[in-house]
Amino acid sequence: MWNFISPRIVFGEGALDALDELVGNRALIVTDKGVVELGLVNKVIAHLKKASIEVCVFDEVEPDPSVQTVRKGAEVALQLQPDWVIGIGGGSPIDAAKAIWILYERPDIEPAAIAPVGDLGLRKKARLITIPTTSGTGSEVTWAIVLTDAEEKRKMGLGNQENVADIAIVDPEMAMSMPPRLTADTGLDALVHAIEGYTCTWHTDLTDGLCLHAARLVFQYLPRAVVDGQDLEARTRMHNAATCAGLGFGNAMASMAHAMGHSLGGAFHVPHGRAVAIFLPYTIEFCALEESARFADLAVLLGCVNSDTEHNGVKAAHSLAYYVRDLCHKVGNPTSVAEAGIPRKTYEAQLDKLVDDALNDTQMVTAIRTPTVEEMRRLFIYAYEGLPVDF
Amino acid sequence: MAFKFPSDEWVKEFARQINSSKAYEESGKDWEGDWIFIVEADEAYPKTVYFFIGLYHGKVTDAAMIENENARPAQYYMRGSFSTWRKTIEGKLDPIQGLMTRKFKLKGNLMKVLRYPRSAKELVNCVMRVPTEFPNQQST
């Protein structure tokens, strides 16, 4: 038995118009200052005005939102008593919106206790809308929440199936202002979601199609969206790809590249999408040496292999890894930790922590091959040097 | 030789497998917390049974089939039907998936458990190495 969780998804050009019909009195918008400055919050407010909904904006969400910020947002919500909470932005504001909504509904619980098991009893006071302004995290359709405990300097993977949004509004107009670097980083995040969602041990028939199609869209449209941010077709397809990948991996799981990426991001503040995309080819090569079938299958379906002899096994999986690195090169992203600009000595000094954090990341549970401590250490070293994995 | 499930011999063999696992020793090196596994009666097995497994810093301190869930103090209680446990022992159901779909119920600090995914995985690897004979079955 398994569940497939999804919000109602309104997508495509003009999707924001769905807000015109919203029924309610007050909305709390959770976002960051950058999204406000780009005028994206005002676009949403204009629609909410048509629905006669009073709006309050909480724009204090920082990158990697902290428990402390979420508590502050919940205080605002408790004073305002909104019947809608609306998260607008990339993964950080949307994750913060989910957590603020939960603490508004359930002021009795600690953020660290937002767990996958148990009933939260949400939707007594408000419902949640998510509006992504980047094309990558998939947070608009997943129930995962990543918060940082600023005191312990630790990222916490939280969430409960109940806290998935009621409505996700996936309007490409909201992503048009992303600069090329952000477009590349977040687009690669979507690719990693798609490939890990397809190849992790929790994949299902209901998620495979979404992950496969999302990966196809990213390979085809991400280079265009990076080169020309005003390419509406590329922006639209990338926005859809991110949501498809979010539904796919959100109802399966991510895997080892995410575990390693979280670890690197926590230690060196490498943007999430950039970090996970660096590690993906190495984890494909590592896993495929023991169990190559899913990677080979995906490589064939994505057209990464040329001849019949390459259609099976490790060789096909390595072709998939090659295509991922090739896409990173095309969009100007690093394919090794060294290329990401992290000094060797600093990296080596953190290696024990990187290994430990990655092995204890919840995403590791779905890896098709579980590395030992020594193998994980070698993976981090190979990923630093840019060496193809041969063990 | 296969070990009958559920039995005291079976849980002691499970403990032996854990204690000979280098991977579990590594992944559970910081773990402190004893478990009681509750195998609830269902259509496949008529009686509810209880297992105690003491885990401390990567090793099993004690393992036994016990009379009831209050027979020993523990920090974690994991409860599921006989058929659900059987699927887990046979490697057909990931216990974390089982928790998320409410096939298993957990009493204890779930967030702490989720911080040890590799230990959970290694425990499953260990349980799968126990040659197990289920009721109405010659051997597995």
Contact of A46 with A52, CB cutoff 8 Å: no
Does A64 have pLDDT greater than 60?
yes
Q: Both A107 and A148 in a single domain?
A: yes
Q: Both A161 and A189 in a single domain?
A: no
Q: pLDDT by residue (tens digit) across A138-193?
A: 999 999 999 987 776 667 889 999 999 999 999 999 999 999 999 999 999 999 99
Q: What average pLDDT does this structure show over A204-210?
A: 97
pLDDT confidence of B137, banded at 50, 70, 90?
A: low
Contact of A290 with A380, CB cutoff 8 Å: no
Q: Both A46 and A138 in a single domain?
A: yes
Does A33 have pLDDT greater than 80?
yes
Minimal CA separation from B118 to chain A, in Å: 6
Which three-class secondary structure string do you get for B70-89?
A: CCCCCCEEEEEEHHHHHHHH
Q: Both A145 and A220 in a single domain?
A: no
CATH of the domain at A268: 1.20.1090.10
Higher-confidence residue: A115 or A186? A186
Question: Which of these CATH numbers, 3.20.20.70, 3.30.1050.10, 3.40.190.10, 3.40.50.1970, describes B3-126?
Answer: 3.30.1050.10
* A1 domain residue, yes or no: no
Q: Both A108 and A215 in a single domain?
A: no
* Chain A: residue whose CA lies nearest to B104: A117
Q: Both A327 and A350 in a single domain?
A: yes
Give the whole-angstrom CA distance, residue A162 versus residue B31: 30
Contact of B61 with B55, CB cutoff 8 Å: yes
* Chain A: residue whose CA lies nearest to B120: A365
Q: Both A96 and A214 in a single domain?
A: no
* A2 domain residue, yes or no: no
Question: Which of residues A174, A206, A228 is at a domain's end?
Answer: A174
Does A280 have pLDDT greater than 80?
yes
- Write the ipTM: 0.76
pLDDT confidence of A101, banded at 50, 70, 90?
A: very high
Q: Both A264 and A299 in a single domain?
A: yes
Q: pLDDT by residue (tens digit) across A250-265?
A: 999 999 999 999 999 9
Amino acid at A266: G
Instruction: Supply the mean pLDDT for chain B.
Output: 92
Instruction: Give the model's pLDDT for residue A117.
Output: 79
Minimal CA separation from B48 to chain A, in Å: 23
% of chain B with per-residue pLDDT over 90: 71
A349-362 per-residue burial string, b: 16 or more CB within 10 A, e: under 16 = ebeeebbebbbbbb
Q: pLDDT by residue (tens digit) across A365-388?
A: 889 998 989 999 999 999 999 999
Q: Both A92 and A188 in a single domain?
A: no
Q: What average pLDDT does this structure show over B102-111?
A: 86
Higher-confidence residue: A120 or A312? A120
* A141 domain residue, yes or no: yes
Q: Is B94 in Cβ contact with A201 (below 8 Å)? A: yes
CATH of the domain at A122: 3.40.50.1970
Question: Which of residues A157, A174, A191 is at a domain's end?
Answer: A174
Q: Both A191 and A164 in a single domain?
A: no
Q: Both A156 and A250 in a single domain?
A: no
% of chain B with per-residue pLDDT over 70: 97
Question: Which of residues A144, A174, A204 is at a domain's end?
Answer: A174
Does A48 have pLDDT greater than 70?
yes
Minimal CA separation from A42 to chain B, in Å: 38
Show residues of chain B in contact with A365, CB under 8 Å: 94, 96, 117-118, 120-121
Preferred mutation among A370, A374, A376, A377 to probe B, highest tally of B CBs within 10 A: A370
3-state secondary structure of B117: helix
**Number of structural domains in chain A:** 2
Contact of A145 with A160, CB cutoff 8 Å: no
Does B139 have pLDDT greater than 70?
no
Count CB pairs under 8 A between chains A and B. Answer: 52
Q: pLDDT by residue (tens digit) across B49-91?
A: 999 999 999 999 999 999 999 999 999 999 999 999 999 999 8
Higher-confidence residue: A242 or B101? A242
Q: Both A75 and A193 in a single domain?
A: no
Instruction: Give the model's pLDDT for residue A365.
Output: 86
Q: Which residues contact A315 (CB under 8 A, 6 or more apart)?
A: A305, A309
Q: Is A202 in Cβ contact with B117 (below 8 Å)? A: no
* A196 domain residue, yes or no: yes
Show residues of chain A in contact with B123, CB under 8 Å: none
Q: What average pLDDT does this structure show over A277-293?
A: 97
Measured CB to CB, residues of chain A less than 8 Å from chain B are 1-3, 112-113, 115-118, 157, 161, 201-202, 359-365, 370, 372-373
Sign of the four-CA dihedral A55, A61, A67, A69: negative
Q: Is B101 in Cβ contact with A2 (below 8 Å)? A: yes
Q: Is A359 in Cβ contact with B118 (below 8 Å)? A: yes
Domain span at residue A131 reads 8-174
pLDDT confidence of A322, banded at 50, 70, 90?
A: very high
Instruction: Give the model's pLDDT for residue A173.
Output: 97
Does B138 have pLDDT greater than 90?
no
* A3 domain residue, yes or no: no
Give the whole-angstrom CA distance, residue A240 versus residue A217: 8
Give the whole-angstrom CA distance, residue A220 versus residue B49: 56
Other C-beta atoms within 10 Å of A306: how many?
A: 9
Q: Which residues contact A303 (CB under 8 A, 6 or more apart)?
A: none
Q: What average pLDDT does this structure show over A259-276?
A: 93
Q: Is A364 in Cβ contact with B118 (below 8 Å)? A: yes
Residue ranges per domain, chain B? 3-126
* A128 domain residue, yes or no: yes
pTM: 0.91
